[in-house]
C-alpha cells in the first residue's frame, strides 16, 4: 500500500526534539526521505550539538526509513542555502520544507533586552524566511525548466502567542504573527509555481513550553506531538495541493482552521481630530473583542 509521502524529500528544521522530532518520525514512517535539521542548541538558542539530530536519524533508519542529519543554521542566509542545496544533491530533489526551528527568550516589554528581541526574531522570522526563499528559488527554477508545476510544500509554524497575544512574549509573538502574514503572502506568490504554503499553530508539551505553566496529566496527554504531526504529514503530501494560505490550530484538544483579520464595524470617514474621538470609541465598543490564548473573546 502506498504511503502518504512515498519518496517525497522533506526538510524539517528544529527536528531533533519535541514536535520536530515527531514530524520527522511520522514523515519517514509515511515514506518520506527526511532531512533532520537541528543545531542542537539549548532552549534559548545557545550552543551546538549535532548528536541530537543524528539520534533521530538513527531512530528513523532503525525503523527502515531514510534520513540524514543537517546542522546548518536556518537563520543564516548561506546556511539556509547550503541546507537546501545539500538536500537536493543528496536526494536528487526537494518536495517539502517544514519550518519548525525556534527558541524562547521570554520577558515583558519593559524588561526585554535588545539582544533578546534580536535573537528570537532572527531564529523564528528570518529562520523561516531564509529556507523558504532558497527552497522557493529552487522550485521556481525547476518549474521553468520543466514547464510543469512541481507540487511542492512549505509548512510554517505560527503560534497562539502571535495570533492572539501572550503576556511576556512580545518578541516571540511578533515573530509568529509575522510568520502568519508571510504564509498568506507567500501562498499567493508561489501558487504559479505549484507550491502551496500553509502554517500551523501547535499546542504541544515540549521543552519550549513545559516550564511556562503547570498542566494536568490530561492536558499533557492532549498536547502530545502525535496529535500535531499528522497535519504536517498530510500537508507535506501530494494530496494537499488544493489547500494553501491557511493556518491550522492543532493539539491541546484543538483541530481548527484559523480565520485572519476581517474588517469589523465601520463609520463614515472623519477629517477632524476633535470630532473623531466619539466615532472611534463607538467603533471600539462595537468591534469584537480580541481573543485570549484559547481563541475565545477576552472577558
The set of catalytic residues is 172
Q: Read off the C-alpha cell for 150.
A: 512541481
- Using the CB atoms, write b or e for 200-228: b if 16+ within 10 Å: bbbbbbbebbeeeeeeeeeeeebbbbebb
Alpha carbon 291 to its chain centroid, in Å, reads 21
* CA dihedral over 176, 180, 185, 188, signed as positive or negative: positive
* CA dihedral over 130, 134, 135, 137, signed as positive or negative: positive
Sequence-distant (≥ 6) Cβ neighbours of residue 262 within 8 angstroms: none
Grouping H, G, I as helix, E, B as strand and the rest as coil, residue 235 is: helix
Amino acid at each position: 500500500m502506498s504511503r502518504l509521502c512515498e519518496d517525497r524529500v522533506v526538510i524539517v528544521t528544529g527536528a531533533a526534539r519535541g514536535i520536530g522530532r515527531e514530524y520527522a518520525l511520522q514523515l519517514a514512517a509515511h515514506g518520506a526521505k527526511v532531512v533532520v535539521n537541528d543545531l542542537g542548541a539549548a532552549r534559548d538558542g545557545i550552543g551546538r550539538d549535532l548528536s541530537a539530530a543524528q539520534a533521530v536519524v538513527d531512530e528513523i533508519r532503525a525503523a527502515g526509513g531514510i534520513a540524514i542529519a543537517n546542522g546548518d543554521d536556518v537563520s543564516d542566509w548561506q546556511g539556509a542555502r547550503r541546507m537546501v542545496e545539500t538536500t537536493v544533491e543528496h536526494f536528487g530533489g526537494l518536495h517539502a520544507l517544514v519550518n519548525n526551528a525556534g527558541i524562547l527568550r521570554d520577558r515583558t516589554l519593559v524588561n526585554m533586552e535588545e539582544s533578546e528581541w534580536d535573537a528570537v526574531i532572527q531564529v523564528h522570522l528570518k529562520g523561516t524566511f531564509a529556507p523558504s526563499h532558497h527552497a522557493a528559488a529552487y522550485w521556481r527554477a525547476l518549474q521553468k525548466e520543466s514547464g510543469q508545476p512541481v507540487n511542492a510544500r512549505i509548512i510554517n509554524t505560527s503560534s497562539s502567542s502571535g495570533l492572539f497575544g501572550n503576556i511576556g512574549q512580545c518578541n516571540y509573538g511578533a515573530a509568529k504573527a509575522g510568520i502568519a502574514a508571510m504564509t498568506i503572502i507567500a501562498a499567493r506568490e508561489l501558487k504559479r509555481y505549484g507550491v502551496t504554503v500553509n502554517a500551523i499553530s501547535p499546542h504541544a508539551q515540549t521543552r519550549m513550553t513545559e516550564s511556562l505553566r503547570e498542566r494536568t496529566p490530561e492536558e499533557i496527554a492532549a498536547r502530545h506531538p502525535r496529535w500535531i504531526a499528522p497535519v504536517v504529514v498530510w500537508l507535506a503530501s501530494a494530496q494537499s495541493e488544493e489547500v494553501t494560505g491557511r493556518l491550522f490550530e492543532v493539539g491541546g484538544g484543538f483541530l481548527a482552521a484559523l480565520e485572519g483579520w476581517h474588517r469589523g464595524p465601520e463609520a463614515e470617514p472623519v477629517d477632524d481630530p476633535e470630532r473623531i474621538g466619539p466615532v472611534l470609541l463607538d467603533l471600539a465598543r462595537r468591534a469584537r473583542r480580541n481573543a485570549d490564548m484559547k481563541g475565545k473573546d477576552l472577558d
